[in-house]
Amino acid sequence: MPGDGIGPEVTACAHRVLKEIAARYGHKFFFSVQLIGGSAIDETGNPLPDATIASCEQCDAVLLGAVGGPKWSDPNAAVRPEQGLLGLRSRLEVFANLRPVKVMDALIGTSPLKGEITQGVDLVVVRELTGGIYFGEKTRDESSASDLCTYTAAEIERIVRVAARLAASRRGKLCSIDKANVLETSRLWRDVTNRLMRDEFPEIELETLLVDAAAMHLLSRPRDFDVIVTENMFGDILTDEASMLVGSLGMLPSASIGESALGIYEPIHGSAPDIAGKGLANPCGALGSVAMLLRHSLKLDAEASAVEAAIGAAIAAGARTADIACDDDAVLSTTDMTDRIISELD
C-alpha cells in the first residue's frame, strides 16, 4: 500500500529490494497494490476501502508507505487518512508495534546528540497498538471534548509478553514506561506488568519509569535501554524522539504484529509532503521494514539479515540521502540510494 506523500517513492524502492531478494534466493513473491489513506479517500471516499481489507486478509504480509498530508488535514473532516491506518491495525489485530533503534557508527555525526551518548545504542520500543486513547470513545461539542483512555489486563499482558520474550532473546533487560503517578490506566499497567514479569519472566531485569522521566533518560542514557514496552500514545511520542538518536526519522523501520504471522511493515517517518516527488526521501526506513517483513512474517531470517547488512554496508561506504548527509557528503536521490543498497546485496 503506497499511501500518500513520499509513501509511493519508498514503497517502490522496497518493492525493488523484495524482487532482488526473490531472484537471489530462489523465491517467488506475489504482489497486490491497494489504496489506503488520502489516496483512497480521493479515489473511493473511504480511507480503508473494502478491496484493500480483502486483499490484506489474503496476504502473508502488508507493506505500507505512509498516510496523510495537508490536503486531508482538516481536523474537523469526517473522513481522514489516519482512520484508514487505525482501522487496518484493528482489523488485522496487530497489537504490537516493534520499532528498533540502532545507531550505526558511520552515522554518529548526524545525530544532534553528542557521539559519546549515541555510540552503541541498540534498543527496541514495543508499543501497544490497538488500545488506549487512540481507540477510546470520543466526544466533542462546541465547548468541550473528551478522549477516553482504556486498557484491560489482557491487553497489557499480551503486549508485555511480546516485549519480555524479545528481551529474553537480546540482553535480558525490559523497561516498562507509564504515568502511574497520575493515570489509573497506568496504575493497572504497572500492577499487571509487575505481576506478569514476576510470575513468568523472573530472569528478565525489569525497570519501571514514568514517561516524563523516560523522555529525559532516552536522551541522556540511551545505551542503558534494551527493550522498552509502553502504551499506545507514549510509544508514538517516544519513538519519534528516539529517531534523533540515529539522526533521522528516515532511518527507522517498524513492524506491527499480532498472534498470527500476518503483519504490517512501514517506516515510521510519515508522508513528508514537503519533499514528496522530489527524490529526496530516505528509503532506508522502508528497506529496514522489508527486512522485518522477511523475518517476522515470511520466516526468512537469512534474507532479512542480508537486507540489513546491505543497508549498513552502503552507509558505511558513504552513501547518504539529504537527511543523513553532513556538509561535505555527496547526496544521493531516493532511487540512487536504493541502487547502492541493492549493489551491496551482491
Q: Say if residues 314 and 337 touch (Cβ distance below 8 Å).
A: yes
Q: Of these residues, 179, 226, 265, 323, which one is catalytic? A: 179
CA–CA distance, 258 with 232 (Å, rounded to integer)? 15
Q: Is 212 a catalytic residue?
A: yes
Q: Which of 60, 122, 147, 240 is catalytic?
A: 240
Give the burial string for 49-77 (b: 16+ CB within 10 Å, else e): beebbebbeebebbbbbbbbbeebeeeee
Please identify which of the residues 4, 226, 236, 323 carries the catalytic annotation: 236
Catalytic residue among 212, 224, 274, 301: 212
Q: Where are the beta strands (DSSP E) in the chain?
A: 62-63, 96-102, 122-128, 138-140, 145-147, 173-178, 205-210, 227-230, 255-257, 264-265
Same fold, 1-94+259-346 and 112-246: yes
**How many Å apart are CA 236 and CA 33, to the nearest integer?**
27
Distance of alpha carbon 34 from the chain centroid: 20
Catalytic one among 134, 178, 226, 265? 134
- pTM beyond 0.85: yes
Would you call 134 a catalytic residue per the annotation?
yes
Q: Tell me, what amino acid is at 54?
A: A
Does the annotation mark 71 as catalytic? no
Tens place of pLDDT per residue across the chain (346 aa) = 999 999 999 999 999 999 999 999 999 999 999 999 999 999 999 999 999 999 999 999 999 999 999 999 887 888 999 999 999 999 999 999 999 999 999 999 889 999 999 999 999 999 999 999 999 999 999 999 999 999 999 999 999 999 999 999 999 999 999 999 999 999 999 999 999 999 999 999 999 999 999 999 999 999 999 999 999 999 999 999 998 999 899 999 999 999 999 999 999 999 999 999 999 999 999 999 999 999 999 999 999 999 999 999 999 999 999 999 988 889 999 999 999 999 999 8
Architecture label for domain 1-94+259-346: 3-Layer(aba) Sandwich (3.40)
In the chain, domain spans: 1-94+259-346, 112-246
CATH assignment of 112-246? 3.40.718.10
Compute φ and ψ for 31, nearest 5 degrees.
Answer: -115, 145
Question: What does the block give as the cell for 85?
Answer: 491506518
